[in-house]
Amino acid sequence: MGYLFEDLIRRFSEISNETAGEHFTPREVIRLIVDLLLANDEAALTGTGIIRTVYDPACGTGGMLAITEERMKALNPKIRVELYGQELNGESFGICKSDMLVTGHDPEQIAFGNTLTSDAHRSKAFHYMLSNPPYGVDWKKYQDLIKDEAQTLGKEGRFGAGLPRVSDGQLLFLQHMISKMREDETGSRIGIVMNGSPLFTGGAGSGESEIRRWMLEKDWVEAIVALPTDLFYNTGIQTYVWLLTNRKPKARRGKVQLIDASSERFWKPVRKSLGSKRREIPEDARKEIVRIYARMLNGNGEYGEFSKIFDVAEFGHREIRVERPLRLSFAAIAERIALVKLEKAFLKLDAAEQDAIIVCLESKMPTTVYRNRDNFEKVLTKAMKSSGIKTSPPVKKVILSTLSERDKAGDVCHDSAGKPEPDIELRDSELVPLKEEWGDYFAREVTPFVPDAWVDETYRDEKDGKVGRVGYEINFNRYFYKYVPPRPLNLINKDLKRLEEEIAALLNEVAG
**How do residues 123-132 score in pLDDT, each as one tens digit?**
899 999 999 9
Output the pLDDT for position 2: 53
The residues pairing with 51 across neighbouring beta strands, listed in sequence order, are 80
Output the pLDDT for position 3: 59
Q: What is the pLDDT of residues 187-233, one digit of tens each?
A: 999 999 999 999 999 999 999 999 999 999 999 999 999 999 988 87
Q: What is the pLDDT of residues 404-416, one digit of tens each?
A: 999 999 999 999 8
Among 121, 127, 125, residue whose Cα is nearest residue 85: 121
Rounded to whole angstroms, the Cα distance separating 107 from 128 reads 19
Q: What is the pLDDT of residues 162-178, one digit of tens each?
A: 999 999 999 999 999 99
Helices 27-38 and 63-75 cross at an angle (nearest 10°) of 50
Among 325, 233, 239, 246, residue whose Cα is nearest residue 274: 233
The residue count of the chain comes to 512
The model's confidence at residue 304, banded by pLDDT at 50, 70 and 90, is confident
Output the pLDDT for position 105: 93
* Percent of the chain residues past pLDDT 70, beyond the cut: 94
Q: Answer whether residue 487 shows pLDDT above 60.
A: yes
Higher pLDDT, 20 or 199: 199
H or E element that contains 391: none
Q: Region of 194 please: left (phi>0), alpha (psi -120 to 50) or beta.
A: beta
Higher pLDDT, 413 or 272: 413
Question: Could you write out the three-class secondary structure of 72-136?
Answer: HHHHCCCCEEEEEEEECCHHHHHHHHHHHHHCCCCHHHEEECCCCCCCCCCCCCECEEEECCCCC
Output the pLDDT for position 20: 42
Output the pLDDT for position 137: 81
Among 411, 409, 412, residue whose Cα is nearest residue 420: 412
Q: Answer whether residue 89 shows pLDDT above 90.
A: no
| Residue 252 CA from chain centroid, whole number | 24
Q: Answer whether residue 13 shows pLDDT above 60.
A: no
Q: Answer whether residue 234 shows pLDDT above 80.
A: no
Output the pLDDT for position 21: 45
Q: Given 3-state DSSP classes, what are the helix, strand and coil percentages for the chain, each rounded to the nearest 5?
A: 40, 20, 40
* Percent of the chain residues past pLDDT 90, beyond the cut: 76
Output the pLDDT for position 95: 86
* Contact status, residue 233 vs residue 275, Cβ threshold 8 Å: yes
Higher pLDDT, 95 or 56: 56
Burial 135-166 (b: 16+ CB within 10 A, else e): bbeebeeeeeebeebbeeeeeebbbbbbbbee
Q: What is the pLDDT of residues 372-399, one digit of tens each?
A: 999 999 999 999 999 999 889 999 999 9
Output the pLDDT for position 15: 52
For the entire predicted model, the pTM comes to: 0.85
